[in-house]
Amino acid sequence: MHPQPVSARAPAAHTAEFLRVKALAERGVANAQHSLGFMYVNGQGVPQNYEMAVAWYRMAATSGLEQAQYNLGVMYQKGQGVGQDYQQAVYWYQRAAEQGYAAAQYNLGWLYAKGQGVAQDAQRAMHWFSQAAEQGDPGAQNNLGMMYESGKGVPQDFRQAIAWYRRAADQGYPRAQFNLGLRYDNGQGVQHDPVQALSWFRKAAEQGHAPAQFNLALRYENGQDVAADSQKAVGWYRRAAEQGHASSQFNLGLIYDNGQGVVRDEAQALGWFRKAAGQGHAGAQDNIGLRHEFGQGVDQDYALAAEWYRKAALQGFASAQYHLAQLVDGGYGVEADPQQAVEWYRKAAEQGHLRAQFDLALRFESGIGVAQDYTAAMAWYLRAAEQDYVAAQYKVGVMFDEGDLVADAGQAYGWYLKAADRGHAQAQFALALRHDCGQGVPRDYQAALFWYESAARQGHARAQFNLGLMYLSGQGAAPDALTAALWLQRAAQAGVEAAGRYARQAAARMDAAQRAQFERLAEEQRAV
C-alpha cells in the first residue's frame, strides 16, 4: 500500500496560504478543497485535524477529483478521521482508479490481493497492479513481478517477473532491487550471477531496505561472494536491527555473545536477543529460555525459561520443543508431566532433532510417559543413528545384541563399530569383549587390546580392568607387569573390586626398578 496521501503543492506561507485556500474551498473549488484537506492532515497553517481533512476531501472527491478520491480512500483504509472501513476505501479507490490514477490503482490492487473490503481476487489484483505498473508505478511493477514469480493470478513466469522487477529496480525501488538480487542469486529466470546479485543487494541496502542489509551482512559474515569482513557484517546487521529486523537483531546478539568482530558483551547480546524475541523470533526466544534455565546473564528462573521455550515451541521451533520437554520431564519450573514431555520430544524429533529422537526412543524403550514399545524405540534410535548420532548408534547395537526385537550379532557389531570409531567408550568396550571372547567374530586378542585401551583411556573402569589383565597375562601384547599394574590401579580407584588384588599380583612380578617407576607413576595418577 502507498502509505501517504498525495499532496498538492505545499503552501509557501502557511497561515496566509491557508486563509487563501480556505476561501477558494468555501466557494466550491475542488482543487482548493483537496488542498485544504491536505493541510488539515499535515497541520500546515492550521492545527492537525483528521475529521476536517475528511470533510474537505469528501467535498472534492464527490465532485470527481481523483486525487481527493484517492486520499479519502487512504483515510478510510487507515481509520484517520473516520472509522476504519475497507469497503469505503475500495469505493473511493475504485472511482479514482477508473480515472487512471496510478496510486489508487495500486492500492486497489493491494486490497484485492489481501481480501480487505472485497473478496480476495488475485486476477483483479493483477488487473489493477498492471494498470498502475504501465503508468510507471514502481510498487505496482514490483508486485507484478512477485505475482509472476509465485504464479498468483497468472501462470508462473520467472522471465516476466524479472522484467517487472527490473523496471521497478531501475527507478530505484529498493524492494524490487532486493527481489532482482535474489533472482540473480538463485538463477531463477536469469543466469546465476553473484556479482549482479551483490550489486542489487547493495543498492537496496544503501536505501535502507532491511532485508537487503541482512542479506549483505550474512555475506560478509560468511565470506559468500565477498571477502569475509566481520566489521562490515556487524555494520549491516546493526543498520537492519535498528529498523526492527528481527533476524538481524538475533544475529547481532549471537555476534556479541561470541565476540565475533566485536568485543564480547553479554549485556549487548541479551539486549538484542530480547528485541528479536519480543517480535516473535523463535531462535531468540529459545536463546532467552536457555539463559534463564542456566542463569547466564540473568537470574536462574526455570519458570521463565519454560515460558520462553513455550513461545518458541508453539511456533514449531524444534530446539525449544526439546528444551521444553526436558523441563516438563523433570518438573523444573513447571509441573512434571511425562506424557506431555513425550509429546514435545515427539514434535522436535519429527523435525529431525537428533537428541529428541534419541530421548524419545529411550522413553519408548523404558515405557516412561508412553507405553513400552521396542519397535518404536528401535525406529527412533535408527533415525538418529543413521544421521551419525553416536549414542543412538550404540543403542541400536545394544538392541540387536540383546534381541529386544530380533537378535542379530552382525548388525550389533556393525553399529558398535560405527559408534566406537567415533569415540563412544561403551561401544569400544562392547567390541573389545567380542574380540576377547570370540563372540560373533573370530577371537582376536590384539583387536580386543586395541578397543579395551580406547575405552580405558576415556575412563571406562571395566575396560581398564580387562586391559590390565591382558597386559598381565600377555594376551594381545607381550606381558608387561608395570603397564598392567597401572591400569589395574586405575580400575581399582574407579571401584572395580577385584582390580586391587590383581594389581598386587602385577607388582609382585616387577623388579626393584620397575616398582620404583610404578610408585612414581601411580602417585602421578592419583594426583590427577
pLDDT digits (tens, 9 = 90+) for 340-383: 999 999 999 999 999 999 999 999 999 999 999 999 999 999 99
Give domain status of residue 227, yes or no: yes
The string of DSSP letters for 190-244 reads S---HHHHHHHHHHHHHTT-HHHHHHHHHHHHHTSSS---HHHHHHHHHHHHTTT
Give domain status of residue 271, yes or no: yes
Give domain status of residue 234, yes or no: yes
Asked if the model's pLDDT at residue 173 lies above 70, the reply is yes
pTM (global) more than 0.85: no
pLDDT in the model for residue 1: 57
pLDDT in the model for residue 404: 79
Please provide residue 319's backbone torsions phi and psi, each rounded to the nearest 5 degrees.
Answer: -60, -40
SS3 440: coil
The CA angle 202-208-213, to the nearest 5 degrees, is 50
- Percentage of the chain with pLDDT > 70? 97
pLDDT single digits (tens) 109-150: 999 999 999 999 999 999 999 999 999 999 999 999 999 999
pLDDT single digits (tens) 64-78: 999 999 999 999 999
Asked if the model's pLDDT at residue 506 lies above 90, the reply is yes
Give domain status of residue 241, yes or no: yes
Number of compact structural domains in the chain: 1
Mean pLDDT of the chain: 94
Give domain status of residue 96, yes or no: no
Residue among 268, 211, 262, 263 at smallest CA distance from 236: 211
Longest Cα pair distance anywhere in the chain, in angstroms? 123
| CATH number for position 212 | 1.25.40.10
Give domain status of residue 291, yes or no: no
- Percentage of the chain with pLDDT > 90? 90
Asked if the model's pLDDT at residue 443 lies above 70, the reply is yes
Asked if the model's pLDDT at residue 5 lies above 60, the reply is no
- Rounded mean pLDDT, 17-29: 91
Asked if the model's pLDDT at residue 13 lies above 50, the reply is no
Total residues belonging to the chain: 528
- 446's grid cell: 590384539
Residue among 434, 411, 436, 415 at smallest CA distance from 424: 415
Helix and strand numbers, DSSP H then E, in the chain = 29, 0
Asked if the model's pLDDT at residue 463 lies above 50, the reply is yes
In this structure, what DSSP letter does residue 389 have?
Answer: -
Give domain status of residue 135, yes or no: no
| Full residue range of the structural domain in which residue 274 is found | 208-279
Q: How far, in Å, CA of 459 to CA of 474, rounded?
A: 22
Give domain status of residue 404, yes or no: no
What lies within 8 Å, CB to CB, of 497 at 6+ separation is none
The string of DSSP letters for 271-329 reads HHHHHHHHTT-HHHHHHHHHHHHHTSSS---HHHHHHHHHHHHTTT-HHHHHHHHHHHH
In this prediction, residue 12 has a pLDDT band, given cuts at 50, 70 and 90, of very low
pLDDT in the model for residue 9: 43
- Rounded mean pLDDT, 297-310: 97
In this prediction, residue 205 has a pLDDT band, given cuts at 50, 70 and 90, of very high
pLDDT single digits (tens) 249-300: 999 999 999 998 899 999 999 999 999 999 999 999 999 999 999 999 999 9
Q: How far, in Å, CA of 525 to CA of 245, rounded?
A: 55
Distances (CA, A) of 179 to 116, 386, 504: 25, 38, 77
Asked if the model's pLDDT at residue 459 lies above 50, the reply is yes
